[in-house]
C-alpha cells in the first residue's frame, strides 16, 4: 500500500508540470521580448552601431557623455517631454476624476454612458491623432470653423506654428482619460454609501463630502494614476509623431524625447548605439521621477482605507 506522501508527491509533480506548461509560455515571451531587448539595448549603448555598419566599435561611456555634454537637442527634447507630461498630466488627472464621479451616479442607462465614454480609447492612437489633426487644421478644420462662425477673426494656427504646436498637443492629450477614469470609477464604487448618508444627516455639503470622504479614500488610486500619467506622458510618441510629421515639426516644437530618439535611430545616419544610450538615460529619468512620486505619496496617500 502506497504511503500518503507518495500520492502527495505525485500530485505535486502533476501540478508542477501543468504550471511549467502554462507559465512557460509567458516566461519564454518575457525572455524573448523583454529581457533580451533590454540587455541588447544596454550592449548597443556602448558601441557606435548603425543599421548598415559591418564593424562595430566599442566606445565605452562616450555615447552617454556626448548626450549629457554635447547634444543640445537631448536636453531640449527632455524639457519638452517634461512640460508635456506635467501639463497634460494635471489635465488628465482632473478630467478623469470628474468624469468618474459623473459616471458613478445612480441614473438610468449609466452603463451605456460608461461605454460611450470609454469607446474612443479602443481606437488605435495613430488614428485618433489623425482625426485630431484634421479637426485642428488651421484652414479646413472643424475647430477653426466653429471659432470663425461665432465671430473670432484672429484664428490660431494650432500645430502649424512653434508657439502653439505643443499647446495643441497638450489640449488633445488632456482627453486621454480612458483607463484613468476607470481606475477612479472602481475606487469610487468601493466607498460605502453609509459614509455619505451619515454626512448628509450631519448637514455636510457636496464639497465637504468630497474633501472629507471621497478624496481621502481614493488617494491610493490618485497615486496610482499619477504614476501612470507620468510614465504615459513622458513616453508619449504616437500623437507627437502624427502632429509633428515624425520630425518635431514645426521648428522642433513637438520634438518630444521619444520622437528624437526615434529620429536618431531610424533617420540618417541611423545611430542605433547612441539612441540606445539615450533610451537608458531616459529610463533613469523616469525611474527617478517615479521614486520621487513614491516619496511624496507619504504625505497625501491615506494608508487605512478600510
pLDDT tens, position by position, 25-66: 888 888 999 999 999 999 999 999 998 888 889 999 999 999
3-state DSSP call for residue 271?
strand
Rounded to two decimals, what is the model's pTM?
0.89
Rounded to whole angstroms, how far apart are CA atoms 256 and 81?
5
Q: Return the pLDDT at 244.
A: 92
Q: Return the pLDDT at 304.
A: 62
Confidence of residue 5 (pLDDT cuts 50, 70, 90): low
Q: Return the pLDDT at 1.
A: 47
Q: Count CB-CB contacts under 10 A for residue 248.
A: 24
Is the pLDDT at 187 greater than 60? The verdict is yes
Structural domains of the chain in order of their starting residue, each with its CATH number: 1-44 (no CATH), 63-299 (1.10.3720.10)
- For residue 238, the cross-strand partners are none
Q: Return the pLDDT at 143.
A: 94
What is the DSSP-derived secondary structure letter of residue 235?
A: T
Grid cell digits, residue 75: 536636453
Query: Which range among 20-29, 59-68, 149-158, 187-196 shows the weakest confidence by mean pLDDT?
Result: 20-29
Is the pLDDT at 125 greater than 90? The verdict is no
Is the pLDDT at 278 greater than 50? The verdict is yes
- Mean pLDDT of the 148-164 span: 91
Is the pLDDT at 4 greater than 60? The verdict is no
Provide the CA 157 distance to its chain's centre, in angstroms: 27
Alpha-helical regions (H) of the chain: 4-30, 36-44, 62-69, 72-103, 110-118, 125-135, 142-149, 165-173, 178-189, 193-201, 206-209, 215-217, 219-234, 238-243, 257-266, 272-296
Grid cell digits, residue 264: 536618431
Say if CB 184 and CB 225 are below 8 A apart.
yes
* CB neighbour list of residue 253: distance below 8 Å, 6 or more residues apart: 80, 162, 163, 165, 166, 244
Sign of CA dihedral 121, 127, 132, 135: negative
Is the pLDDT at 181 greater than 60? The verdict is yes
Rounded to whole angstroms, how far apart are CA atoms 156 and 297?
39
- Mean pLDDT of the 241-261 span: 93
Query: Which range among 50-59, 74-83, 106-115, 174-183 shows the weakest confidence by mean pLDDT?
Result: 106-115
Confidence of residue 3 (pLDDT cuts 50, 70, 90): low
**Cell 484664428, residue?**
155
3-state DSSP call for residue 243?
helix
Amino acid at each position: 500500500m502506497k504511503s500518503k506522501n507518495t500520492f502527495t508527491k505525485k500530485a505535486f509533480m502533476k501540478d508542477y508540470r501543468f504550471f511549467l506548461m502554462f507559465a512557460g509560455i509567458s516566461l519564454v515571451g518575457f525572455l524573448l521580448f523583454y529581457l533580451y531587448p533590454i540587455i541588447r539595448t544596454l550592449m548597443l549603448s556602448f558601441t557606435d552601431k548603425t543599421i548598415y555598419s559591418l564593424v562595430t566599435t566599442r566606445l565605452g561611456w562616450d555615447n552617454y557623455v556626448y548626450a549629457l555634454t554635447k547634444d543640445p537637442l537631448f536636453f531640449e527634447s527632455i524639457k519638452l517631454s517634461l512640460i508635456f507630461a506635467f501639463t497634460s498630466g494635471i489635465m488628465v488627472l482632473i478630467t478623469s476624476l470628474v468624469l468618474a464621479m459623473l459616471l458613478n451616479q445612480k441614473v438610468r442607462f449609466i452603463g451605456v454612458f460608461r461605454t460611450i465614454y470609454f469607446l474612443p480609447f479602443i481606437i488605435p492612437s495613430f488614428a485618433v491623432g489623425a482625426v485630431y489633426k484634421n479637426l485642428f487644421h488651421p484652414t479646413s478644420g472643424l475647430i477653426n470653423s466653429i471659432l470663425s462662425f461665432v465671430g473670432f477673426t484672429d484664428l490660431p494656427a494650432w500645430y502649424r506654428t512653434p508657439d502653439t504646436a505643443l499647446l495643441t498637443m497638450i489640449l488633445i492629450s488632456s482627453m486621454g482619460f480612458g483607463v484613468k477614469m476607470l481606475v477612479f470609477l472602481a475606487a469610487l464604487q468601493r466607498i460605502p454609501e453609509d459614509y455619505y448618508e451619515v454626512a448628509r444627516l450631519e448637514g455636510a455639503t457636496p464639497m465637504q463630502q468630497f474633501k472629507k470622504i471621497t478624496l481621502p479614500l481614493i488617494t491610493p488610486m490618485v497615486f496610482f494614476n499619477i504614476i501612470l500619467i507620468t510614465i504615459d506622458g513622458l513616453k508619449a510618441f504616437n500623437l507627437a509623431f502624427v502632429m509633428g510629421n515624425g520630425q518635431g515639426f514645426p521648428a522642433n516644437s513637438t520634438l518630444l524625447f521619444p520622437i528624437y530618439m526615434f529620429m536618431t535611430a531610424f533617420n540618417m545616419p541611423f545611430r542605433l548605439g547612441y539612441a540606445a544610450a539615450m533610451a537608458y538615460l531616459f529610463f533613469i529619468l523616469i525611474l527617478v521621477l517615479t521614486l520621487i512620486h513614491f516619496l511624496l505619496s507619504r504625505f497625501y496617500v491615506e494608508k487605512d482605507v478600510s
